[in-house]
Structure 1
């Protein structure tokens, strides 16, 4: 299939460290206009920052709560489950060239996830396809659920060409929709499949970095050693994660590289680890001894810790995030329950030209440093 759009390589020039130019800002329309859907999550927030930093993108962030404007960035608040509201908020965006879709609505069961998550994507794509004749590409953020990773032990390393599994699975339905809707359209699509994404965000239900940092900080506050709380077999299973900054680079690369049109890519840090090796490294960072693992549900044992968090916030002069804003305990329980290998083959992206990687222990240390700089944790 032939697409009518033209792509440009990602700008890899070094960051300009010269003094800030105080001349009037060029207000002419950017050649590339990104609509980042889910702009306040771990993935979306980092993607917005990366695009804005490249210098040749105008960025529009979409989320339910909106956000503060920044150079080359503005935000739109809208409930994407409401089609009329979506049309009203996004229907006037006639210059959008790329949609980066990273929105997610949680539901109690796998089956219940399908309808809202498919509806939100549909509402965005239908609205932008009608509104913007400049649209060139739609990027869909997925995950290893495509391979059945959430159901139990699956074939590893998972590859983009692996056979599908019994539905329901909203990631698959979303990709099927894009493939059908984009057939003979002027825009292409890509599907990006990270592992657990690690980066900064508050008030996010899926934030492993925050789980680790707050759990370790509370353990230290209580004078306790750091214990792995997951399933017994999970301590020794082989897994990987994906740095949010690396993911942002890969996502933009796939969206702006002609050869990547209508393709799916696994994106991961490039190394594997076991909690049995990573856990002591996390303990050392926080100055904690590591005691033997003890299976426990964080969602249960942390249910009464709001008072402790309030005390820590006051004693250590923290930024004042509520306990709810730093709590992703249910997600932590899910990650720590994986007593089977959880990794995918990232070589397809390398074959297509993306060669960046991140060392995972270094990534965790950098993210914990960032949380301390932001005064989120002591």
Structure 2
């Protein structure tokens, strides 16, 4: 019996989520993969890349309108803006432009996977109900994550394809040039602390050091995303995806400090976006001193995102049991995840 052809369109293929998704699909071996991003990429094996401006409806139609073989859309694109309200128009436009261009051409389209997050629960606004569950009511708009799901729900009515909404916590993985990469924040902050002979101080709000948190490993997230997109039980469902364990920074921070052979000092609230703004010359000198890979400081800086995560002086976790009830049983040890990613950065000469 001939196996049905599976063609994945990964939207946002150069981000930490998209890259890990492309890698996972490649490892599975039975997918053809098309990666979309603004800057494109190098075509290798069953992976080809398309450079497209998804904010431009015309460019999207021209570049994507011929993708008739696509069976699954994995949407993980994101545009940053200064305010919550300003996030809505560009992030809605990109999703709409993708669906408007691909859906009419791809007659065999089976599924659209939407990457969301805990913003659906208002986690970015302040203390929220924990553990958050997929059935929790939406909060007061604006919120593009909710708008995107409602768009897919409307579009799917009467169609043969289905959708899923994937809701990870903070996603950690090996990636460069990503504005939301907590692992890179910790790696560069630790390396610079070591270079300056300073202890590793937790820089967040005073109440954030002892609150309960969880993370989502990018590799785990990729597996869960493909599972939800290909298991018919998951049709038209949302799933929280997290590592499966909880931690507090006051326990995790000393273990991270040990990786850098650093002492831990009393936490000191400070904006990394401010105190790390003048460290580019130091970073450049470290590249030369330690023969590091020549990555520009801007490509290893996610200080604003670090400030955001370290400001959570309230519990930040969601109930992941729905995914388990539907059949996904993978998990990741968060301490090991952090240490493995830091070791990968060191192995690849990104940090000393």
TM-score range, shorter chain: over 0.9
Tell me the distance in 1 between the aligned counterparts of 2:346 and 2:49. Answer: 27
- Shift of residue 30 of structure 1? 7.3
The alignment's TM-score, normalised by the length of structure 2, stands at 0.99
Distance 1:263 1:63 in 2: 26
Q: What's the offset of the Cα at 1:375?
A: 1.2
**Which residue of 37, 53, 56 corresponds with 1:63?**
37
Matched, 1:255 2:242: no
Answer yes or no: is 1:87 the counterpart of 2:61.
yes
Of 257, 280, 290, the match for 1:316: 290
Which residue pairs with 2:121 in the alignment? 147
Change beyond 3 A, Cα 1:202–1:30: farther
Alpha-carbon distance in structure 2 between the residues aligned to 1:206 and 1:136: 30
> What is the aligned partner in structure 1 of residue 265 from structure 2?
291
Deviations 1:180-220 (A, max 9, x none): 00111111000000000000111111000000000000000
The residue that corresponds to 1:332 in the other structure is 306
Cα offset, 1:29, TM superposition: 11
Any idea what the Cα deviations from partners look like across 1:314-333, whole Å, max 9, x if unmatched?
11111100000000000000
Question: Segments of 4+ in structure 1 off by > 3 A?
Answer: none
Gaps of 5+ in 1: 1-27
Q: For 2:320 and 2:199, how far apart are their aligned partners in 1?
A: 35
C-alpha deviation, 1:374, in angstroms: 1.6
Which consecutive unaligned segments of at least 5 residues does structure 2 have?
none
TM-score (norm 1): 0.92
Query: 1: distance between equivalents of 2:196 and 2:246?
Result: 31
Matched pairs, number: 351
Q: Is contact 1:76–1:89 with CA below 8 Å preserved after alignment?
A: yes
Within the candidate set 133, 158, 177, 1:159 is matched to: 133
Deviations 1:212-254 (A, max 9, x none): 0000000001111000000000000100000000000000000
Query: What is the CA-CA distance between 1:69 and the residue it aligns to?
Result: 1.5
Secondary structure of the 2:203 match is coil
Residue of structure 2 in register with 1:244 after alignment: 218
1:377 Cα offset (Å): 0.9
Stretch deviating more after TM superposition (366-375 or 145-154): 366-375
1:273: which partner in 2? 247
Q: Work out the CA distance in 1 between the residues paired with 2:4 and 2:262.
A: 49
> Which secondary structure state, in structure 2, belongs to the residue aligned with residue 138 of structure 1?
strand
Match of 2:319 among 334, 337, 345: 345
How many angstroms apart in 1 are the aligned matches of 2:317 and 2:5? 37
1:365 alignment partner in structure 2: 339
Give 3-state SS (helix, strand or coil) of 1:181's partner.
Answer: helix
Q: Quote the RMSD (CA, aligned, Å).
A: 1.0
Is the CA contact (8 Å cut-off) linking 1:30 and 1:58 kept in structure 2? Answer: no
